[in-house]
Amino acid sequence: MASVKSITPTFALKVLTPSIFAVGSIAILLLYIVNGIFEETNRLDTIHSERLTTSAVGSLRDSLETIVHDNSIWDDAAQKAGTTPIDMQWVDETWGYSSEIGVYDTVFIVDAKGNTLYAATNGSREKIDAADYIGDDLMLLLERNAVTENSRGLTSGIVRTGGVLSSVAMARIRWTEANNGAQSTDNTLIIAKRWDAKVLSALARRYAMEELRFIPLDQQAGNGAVTILSPSGEAIGKLTWKSRSPGNIVRAKYGYVVSMIVVMFLFMIAVLLYMSWKGFKEANDSQADAISASLRDDLTGLANRREMLAALTRHLAVARAEGSTLSVIYADLDGFKEVNDSYGHEIGDLLLKAAAAGFAYIAKDAQMVARLGGDEFAIIITGQGSAGRARAVAASMISFLAEPMIFDGRIASVSVSAGIVDLDDDEADVEEIIRRADVAMYKAKSEGRNCVYVYQKSLDFKRDENRTIALQLREHIQRRNLSVVYQPIVDARTRKTKGVEALVRWPKDASTRYTPDVFIPVAEEFGLIEDLGYFVLSEACQQAAQWDGIFVAVNVSPIQFMNPNFGELVHQTLVKTGLDARRLEIEVTEGFIIDNAARATTIINRLHDMHVRVALDDFGTGFSSIGHLRRFKFDKLKLDRSMVIDILRQPSALRLVQGTIAMADALGLTVVAEGIEDENQVSVLRLAGCSQFQGYLFSRPVEAQQITAFLNDGQPAALSA
């Protein structure tokens, strides 16, 4: 107790007293600021309402000024109503009856002295006098109107008539510029609109004001009000409305919340002081909790990468020391990015939580289930039979995600690609094991996704080979060493060449030559596909610009087509090479179009705006439907070789092709059959309605100079194979 007494004065002097002073000052300042915000909100709302009311009044005047201006400068009006006597029937039919429509309700024609020559209200002629309606301001407005003869020639104002305000606008009736140079006549046209309940209600709705109404000057306005002045500057009434007083509303609704916050703040300070008084034990406990939290994934509650690496280090040391087995599953969700982009991060987070919970249940006997980040997960399995258990767990993960999940009515469908690495006899460390699992996982993705692949050392050999190919490919692209060959596309009836398809080839002088089916996947894997695609596009357009009358078709990879700037790149290429956009065709695959419908539609529309045609390539290898063909508005359909190869042997294959061509014809699509190698195929496909052919029967892909020579010779058929 003596120790406690000895530290109490020091604690009170150095901690308690300054804390109470600081907390009290902060609480008072907070209340002052919050109250000031409430009052300022009310003041700003009142100013805003006054400006809205002024705008509403001005809108009525502007509307009448526009109408009277349009009706006063008119040759017919100058002839019929500009001088005495007035053609009453013409005025009735022109202006009198119009006062019933609602834009204005009263119309007068007066002479220069203010004498009323014509008056009508609500569509019928009335015996009312403009001087009685407008009062002493009539002559004032007429005088002002005379002063403004050289400008718009009109004046307006607000008057009080029978206890109700009215907007009036007047203009001297005059001839148009074509007759008498817009000279005024003797008479003036006046139109007026009473501010009745209907008008005020319409203004209130238009300007989002409540209970807008007119009150006399001597009546006290309970809320906001704007004084209305006559043309002579006399106050003739007030417009008032129900003030929203948002500051008071917020104060009434949340004032207690502010009080509660202050109380809670004081309570928290008291708790903090108590925690300080308790000493270091609680601080040590908090530090331990913080360390534990740093090892967990906040979203899913699973272990994070840091904890997983630490656990794998421990289990790896134990396995090697005891000679036991260990396996690691490295999994990635297929299609998660599309779900996240389509439905937003909230649905994406729910999907990750559901997947994590499912994986944790499936692998409940595993040593650890972790989320490494994004949509990547890892599972550590040790002990007897770990390899077989790992494969069973991975298979169960695939089965678990086979059924779509529904979140807030949205269907999220994903799959999982998993790589498995088993502990080997070598001295691979933790990072190497994770790398191997990652390599196996990406191999599973390359095999079509939604599958499991077990790491083999040959994967590294293939990866090293691909890395070598990628380095050479990058160098060839930079030096523009790659070659582009062209395969003719011929007319089905005349066999004349209509166009060519551009195809990229490895340099002929290279020590090792790779085929497109080898180096194009490498380009996609190592991020070179866009550079490669742009090279082919620019080379093909530049070459095609030197030919006359034929088009060039260029295949575009999904990654290149996904680029939001793809349309602009095509436009720049056409401008640079001078190729007519109508002679360029972009070929895309149906799988990409279906999986990225919204983005594909935008890009295709951009290409169509430039008059570039779009062809759906490899039709028949995917799942396109008539709906997809109609939605994306393709210009051409290319039948894959797999669809036409059996038409001479299987009647069902022929009927399928005939139906496809008929469908394409109904949609206005040109149909190209690829892979033609037999004259009998030509005859059958021509009868079926196919428009164009492409294949070895007509020509293999050849160099550009061979196409040039052939076109110069003017031969009716394509190059021979």
Using CA atoms, how far apart are residues 492 and 672, in angstroms rounded to an integer?
9
Range of the domain at 475: 466-710
Contacts with 592 (C-beta within 8 Å, 6 or more apart), sequence order? 558, 561, 562, 600
In a domain, 179, yes or no: no
In a domain, 158, yes or no: no
In a domain, 186, yes or no: no
Residue 719: what pLDDT? 55
Q: How does pLDDT run across 433-483, given as a tens digit for each residue?
A: 999 999 899 888 878 889 999 998 888 777 788 889 999 999 999 999 999
Q: How does pLDDT run across 624-658, given as a tens digit for each residue?
A: 556 667 777 889 999 888 888 888 888 888 898 88
Q: Are strands 483-491 and 692-693 parallel, antiparallel or unpaired?
A: antiparallel
Residue 140: what pLDDT? 82
Highest mean pLDDT (candidates 87-96, 357-366, 586-595, 659-668): 357-366
Contact by Cβ (8 Å): 582, 610: no
Q: How does pLDDT run across 500-510, given as a tens digit for each residue?
A: 999 999 998 88
- Given 272, 291, 310, the domain boundary residue is 291
User: Do 251 and 265 belong to one domain?
Assistant: yes
Give the CA distances from residue 578 to residues 200, 543, 575, 604, in Å, rounded to whole numbers and listed in that order: 63, 10, 5, 21
Going by C-alpha positions, the residue among 159, 162, 160, 185 that lies closest to residue 172 is 185
Q: Report the DSSP beta bridge partners of residue 169.
A: 156, 191
User: Do 325 and 451 belong to one domain?
Assistant: yes
Could you give the angle at which helices 345-362 and 336-343 cross, rounded to 10 degrees? Answer: 140
User: Do 443 and 298 belong to one domain?
Assistant: yes
Give the CA distances from residue 67 to residues 64, 71, 168, 170, 192, in Å, rounded to whole numbers and listed in that order: 5, 6, 11, 10, 11
User: Do 529 and 449 belong to one domain?
Assistant: no
144: how many CB neighbours lie within 10 A of its CB? 16
User: Do 625 and 538 belong to one domain?
Assistant: yes
Instruction: Label residue 141 by pLDDT band (50, 70, 90).
Output: confident
Q: Which residue has the tokens 């008479």?
A: 187
Residue 536: what pLDDT? 96
Q: How would DSSP label each residue in 386-427?
A: HHHHHHHHHHHHHHHTSS-EEETTEEE--EEEEEEEE--SS-
Q: How would DSSP label each residue in 647-715?
A: TTT-HHHHHHHHHHHHHHHHTT-EEEE-----HHHHHHHHHHT--EE-STTT---B-HHHHHHHHHHT-
Total structural domains in the chain?
Answer: 3
Instruction: Label residue 1 by pLDDT band (50, 70, 90).
Output: very low
User: Do 476 and 603 belong to one domain?
Assistant: yes
CA 477, 482, 487: angle at the middle one, nearest 5? 135
User: Do 325 and 471 belong to one domain?
Assistant: no
Going by C-alpha positions, the residue among 680, 692, 687, 671 that lies closest to residue 645 is 680
CATH of the domain at 605: 3.20.20.450
User: Do 557 and 408 belong to one domain?
Assistant: no
Mean pLDDT lowest among 68-82, 328-342, 704-718: 704-718
Q: Report the DSSP beta bridge partners of residue 323.
A: none
Residue 703: what pLDDT? 94
Going by C-alpha positions, the residue among 92, 152, 140, 83 that lies closest to residue 111 is 83
Percent of the chain with pLDDT over 90: 32
Mean pLDDT lowest among 160-164, 177-181, 384-388, 523-527: 177-181
In a domain, 274, yes or no: yes
In a domain, 83, yes or no: no
- How far, rounded to the nearest angstrom, does the alpha carbon of residue 72 sit from its chain's CA centroid? 50
Question: Is residue 721 scored above 50 in pLDDT?
Answer: no
Instruction: Label residue 282 by pLDDT band (50, 70, 90).
Output: low
In a domain, 386, yes or no: yes
User: Do 394 and 524 belong to one domain?
Assistant: no
In a domain, 662, yes or no: yes
Residue 276: what pLDDT? 67
Q: How does pLDDT run across 170-192, given as a tens digit for each residue?
A: 888 888 877 765 577 778 888 88
User: Do 302 and 405 belong to one domain?
Assistant: yes
Q: How does pLDDT run across 236-260, given as a tens digit for each residue?
A: 777 777 766 565 566 666 666 766 7
Contacts with 634 (C-beta within 8 Å, 6 or more apart), sequence order? 604, 614, 615, 616, 669
- Given 291, 314, 347, the domain boundary residue is 291
- Given 291, 324, 346, the domain boundary residue is 291
Residue 221: what pLDDT? 65
User: Do 298 and 284 belong to one domain?
Assistant: no
Q: Which residue has the tokens 């002839």?
A: 79
Q: pTM value?
A: 0.49
CATH of the domain at 372: 3.30.70.270
User: Do 305 and 320 belong to one domain?
Assistant: yes
Structure tokens at 124: 């019928």
Instruction: Label residue 283 by pLDDT band (50, 70, 90).
Output: very low
In a domain, 542, yes or no: yes
